Structures are given as C-alpha cells and as structure tokens.
Amino acid sequence: MKKIRLPVYFYALTAMLLWGMSFIWSSVLLQYYEPVTIIFIRLVISSALLYAFMFVSGQKVKLERKDFFLVFLSALFNPFLYFLGENYGLKYSTPTISAVIIATIPLFSPVIAYITFKERLTPINFIGIAISFCGVILMLVTRSLSLVADVRGVIFLFGAVFAALLYSVTLRKLTENYSAVLLVATQNLIGVFLFMPFFVIFELKTTIAVTVTAEVVTSMLLLAILASSVSFVFFAHSVKLLGMSKTNIFSNLIPVFTAIFSYFLLSESFSPQKIAGIGLVISGVYLSERSKKRI
C-alpha cells in the first residue's frame, strides 16, 4: 500500500487552526469550571487516547533513561506552565485577545533558535515576522490605541509565551529520537500528575458540583482530542520537518482563526480594524515563508 505524503505545511497549519479553536472551546468551559480543572481533564483524556493509539498501532512506547530529565522538563514547560498561563490569561481576557498575545511567539522564536540551534533566517523572514506582529498589535488595541485587555490576563499570557519558547527548544532535541505521538502522550501524562495536586486540593469540590451538559462534554472532548492530542502531534512533526523558528511563524495565524470562529460562535465583534490586522498577519506569514528554501 502506497504511503500518503501530506504537504509539509499541512501539519503546521492544522495545528494552528486547532489551537485557534481551542480558545473558543476553553472559553465555553470557563463558564462552568476553573482553569486547572479544564486542563487536568483534557490531559487525562488526551494521554489515554494517545497511549491507546500507540498500543493498537504497535508503536514504540519506551523512552531512553538518558532522556528522562529532558522529557520531564519539556512537560514542565508544556503542558504545565503553558496551559496555566493560557487558561488563566483566557479567564481574564477574551479568546481573540488571548490568541493575539500567544501569536507573539514567532517574534521571540528566532532569537531562541539562533542561541540554541544556530538556525538562521533571512532579512525577508524578519520583515515578514515584523509585518505579522504589526497585524497582531492592530488586533489588540482599540481605535484610541488603548489595550483591550486585563493586565492580569496579559501577564499570564506572556508567561505562556515564554513557556512555549522553552518548550520548543526541548522539543526540537527530542524529536530527533522519538515520534511525535510518544512525546506528546508522555508529556501529557506527566502534566496529569503535575496538575493533580492542584485539582484535588483546590477545585475538586467545585468540579463535582457542576451539572454536566452536552455543551460541556462536546467542548471538553474537542479540547482533549483535537487541541491536546492531534494539534501537538502535528506541531511536533512540523518542528521536526521545518525547524523551531519556521514552525513558530505559523503561530501568527492562531488569532486569525480565533477571531473568525469567535465572530461566528461567540458573537465577538469583527471590526474593520480587526480585519486589517488579520490581513497583515496573513501577509507577514506569506512573506516569511515565500523566501525559504524548498523543503
């Protein structure tokens, strides 16, 4: 049977689409649960599904002892610190604003990539990143140039950005020896144990008191299966194929997807300013990718 080869950028684009949608699903769940509860449940479901998939497909499920610490460190950055920052940031903000701040990851990614892996980008790449970031800023401010965000939310979200950058560094080293599925499954399982004490001590009682609805179940399953499993596997595979900085450039598309779906599903405003910002984001990503060598 001939193996189907997907376009290189398919993995990065799909991951960003699902992460863009994750802000919508998380926003819905925050009406019922506290942030740690949402993260804990989605990681339990995700890790169980990924390990089941590896067992059924006969994939390797063992890590080398020498890599234990690096895998734990990667899980500490993501899902633990990243999800804490993202979910508490979303609690004090809106889906679109949260996605916009998360999209600043590519702004810092080339510096981290150069320091750690000596990855180089052309001047055109940096121009593209700058254009995209201008689009992000345009989506973040009002017409009077004031920020549309709670300061607490901004702090948490930039903490998530920093955690994501460190995660990308550890992930790049690990993808050389392990499959994306194994890495994400293991990181999510470690995340379950990291979040468990906080869930049991602080949020278990309030979680039990919540009446479970079809909306809750649907949003949680979409987060667990698509946003915590498929998207991270695709992201890890993209890092392996494209490198850290090139993959993270696509993060600028997250607020574009989030803004579009927020408009249709959550009735968020979709002003001409926001449309202009989306146009800049897409233009910057296109310019950044156009000058790269063919993979």
Residue 181 in any domain: the answer is yes
**SS3 sequence, the chain?**
CCCCCCCHHHHHHHHHHHHHHHHHHHHHHCCCCCHHHHHHHHHHHHHHHHHHHHHHHCCCCCCCHHHHHHHHHHHHHHHHHHHHHHHHHHHCCCHHHHHHHHCCHHHHHHHHHHHHHCCCCCHHHHHHHHHHHHHHHHHHECCCCCECCCHHHHHHHHHHHHHHHHHHHHHHHHCCCCCHHHHHHHHHHHHHHHHHHHHHHHHHHHHHHCCCCHHHHHHHHHHHHHHHHHHHHHHHHHHHHHCHHHHHHHHHHHHHHHHHHHHHHCCCCCCHHHHHHHHHHHHHHHHHHHCCCCC
Q: How wide is the angle at C-alpha 83 spanned by C-alphas 188 and 113, nearest 5°?
A: 85
Q: What is the pLDDT of residue 168?
A: 84
Do the beta carbons of residue 289 and residue 54 sit within 8 Å?
Answer: no
Residue 45 in any domain: the answer is yes
Alpha-carbon distance of 169 to 272, in angstroms, equals: 37
Q: Give the H or E element holding residue 71.
A: helix 68-75
Give me the tens of pLDDT residue by residue for the chain, a chain 295 residues long: 344 456 778 888 999 999 999 999 999 999 999 999 999 999 999 999 999 989 998 887 889 999 999 999 999 999 999 999 999 999 998 898 888 888 888 777 777 777 776 667 678 777 877 888 888 888 778 776 677 678 899 899 999 999 998 998 888 788 888 888 899 999 999 999 999 999 999 999 999 999 999 999 999 999 999 998 899 888 888 888 887 767 877 877 888 899 888 888 888 777 788 788 888 888 887 776 665 544 4
Q: What is the pLDDT of residue 1?
A: 39
Give the total number of structural domains in the chain: 1
Helix (H, G, I), strand (E, B) or coil at 225: helix
Domain, as residue range, for 285? 8-290
Residue 295 in any domain: the answer is no
Please list the residues that pair with 147 across neighbouring strands: 141
CB burial of residue 59 (10 Å; 0-12, 13-18, 19+): middle
Residue 107 in any domain: the answer is yes
Residue 2 in any domain: the answer is no
Residue 40 in any domain: the answer is yes
